[in-house]
Amino acid sequence: MTKWRFGAYEELSDVLAPLLLYGLVEHRPVVRGGHSIGEHDYWLMPEGVEFTNALLEADRSLFGWYVDRARLIATVAKDTGGSALKARQYGRIEYASTPGMALIPSITDAVRVRLVRTEASAA
């Protein structure tokens, strides 16, 4: 993913537009004082659940990856808000030292080492 001015950047409207258009996802902005949007909530609608289930039934080996990623993100993020997650990102030297408009380097190897250590200490 590319690092832009204030963090990782991907144009959400490119990804969300077809989901919103077909009623698979609903967007509910949360308005704060002064009529500014404080956060954006996206809800998977019943049509989205049906579509997701159809994809998984068609090819679990391909589309199951997304289920696994969503579960992993939910496990790591829990109920942490966006600002706190952003601060956590900047705690990684790979992320913090990436100049704007450059690709953020992968931390896959470091995460795997941490996972092994975590599993070993839990055993």
CA distances from 10 to 15, 95, 113 (A): 9, 15, 28
pLDDT band at 25 (very low <50, low <70, confident <90, very high): very high
pLDDT of 33 over the 90 cut: no
Taking residues 1-26, report their average pLDDT.
82
pLDDT at 118 over 90: no
Query: pLDDT tens digits, residue range 61-116?
Result: 999 999 998 998 888 889 998 888 888 888 899 888 998 888 889 989 988 998 89
CA distance 32 to 91: 28
Q: Which is more confidently placed, 1 or 37?
A: 37
Distance between CA atoms of residues 57 and 38, nearest Å? 37
Q: State the average pLDDT for the chain.
A: 88
Looking at the structure of the chain, the number of domains it has is 1
Binned at pLDDT 50, 70 and 90, residue 27 comes out as: very high
What pLDDT does residue 6 have? 64
pLDDT on residue 7: 67
Quote the domain boundaries for residue 64: 2-122
| DSSP calls for 50-117 | HHHHHHHHH-HHHHHHHHHHHHHHHHHHTT--HHHHHHHHHTSHHHHTPPTTSBPPP-HHHHHHHHHH
Q: How many other CB atoms are there within 10 angstroms of residue 33's CB atom?
A: 6
* Residue in the structure block whose two tokens are 């939910």: 74
